[in-house]
Structure 1
Amino acid sequence: MTGYTGMDSVEIMPGVRVTKERCLYIDDGPTVVLGDLHLGYEKALEEDGMFIPRINTDSIREELNLIICKYEPKRIVLLGDIKHDFKRTRYEGKEEVHRVIELLKNASDVIVVKGNHDNFLQNILQDTGLMAVDYVDICGFRMEHGHVDSGKRPVIIGHEHPSVKVHGAVFGGVKVQCFLHLKKDGIIVIPPFSPLSSGSDLTLAGPETFMSPACKAADVSDADVYGVTEFGILPMGKLGDIENLEI
């Protein structure tokens, strides 16, 4: 893979592209799908005695601005885990959600899907005019967070925070966030949008190690893996073969 320059996006099925911005782009609309923002992550860590710079929300807003300008979506789907804290969110956390939602609403129609972290999310959204839903059926897909499987296919989910570890010939290797496309099972898994989410290493993983019920019941070794790197999207082959991949 030496000298690889990467691609901004890769079409994984007609009209559907995985992108280096960690969002799914669908021609219909056009529509952008992203998830797992985990707003308020730093505050939750502080309550556990860990202090890190508060960069998550500002970084997310910057990336969303880039996506809006580049793809000009008519519709944006937030695929769950908008907030990080399971508990009732304080004023500061509400403001973080409002800042992101208002940015998106000023540019596009917004659909908010609830994730397993999104307790009390509707309380936060009541001033925005949006209603959080369990799923949405658009563009020929069921779109849901992924912590619960509706059984509908094809489906686009988040929740999993997928990444793979690639071994290095000189160094120890690197963990790469990725999209997964389980063609036979009709499942697309998107990576987390939060820059603070490193992802769950799925290398050598069997179905039992996945969090989402849809993936647990699928042939995950046959999933096509598309890595998100600083150079662009990197097609990495099948998940079951990743252990043999080296950089």
Structure 2
Amino acid sequence: MTDGPLPKSVLARGVLLLRACGDAGTALSLAELAVRTGLPKPTAHRLIGELVRLGLVERMADGSYRIGLALFVLGQSSPSVRELRDVALPYLGDLHEATHENVHLAVPDGTDTLFLEKITGRRATPIVSRTGGRLPAHCTATGKVFLAQDPRPPRRTLPRLTPRTLVLPGQLARDLALTRARGYGVNLEEAEIGISAVAAPVYAADRGSRPIAAISVTGGTRRLDVDRIGARLCAAARAITRSLSV
């Protein structure tokens, strides 16, 4: 269920349903949508029906709902997202060829990191991330890249995804200081047991000193050479930054 009072506008309530469908990564029943959004079931039914008619949500044969093709097309039409993906994709491909692990392009999304792109393969370690999915920023390498630019500690209780998740403000602050010093973020089994990641920031010349995106390599902890991959990621991130700034 969403935190805080429910929005009053029809548009905002529709967005709640779209976010619930998108975040789930799988089809949801009407009852599940009502629970996830906090909307009364009749309201959820009426609004989801309208979203289906608009093509933004697809109704499955079993009566469940998932994100529709029209919403995917709208998302892909964003000029900033399209430019970022087009510039980054060749570098993401090179990183995958070099590491044979999962490679991500991510952007900040509130308190989360949102994965715009994921390149994987048969030799890559299976992980939970997916294109269009999100994870809490404090326990991901890409998220730490974004958080490291903000000197203020998070003003909320941080969820613990694994026993190694950094949830104490002092622990996280020290880790973010290290991220700033070395130029890349590291997640050591903080989102998934046995899985670690390294990420480097991507900047745009006309958007100040904060990163607009991050690229990462994620794989099995025992297989990941953090220092070597960190250096490779920083080089690729600088190249993407230069291309975006042209």
TM-score between the two structures when normalised by the length of structure 2:
0.27
Indicate the structure (1 or 2) with the bigger Cα radius of gyration. Answer: 2
**Greater per-residue strand proportion:** 1
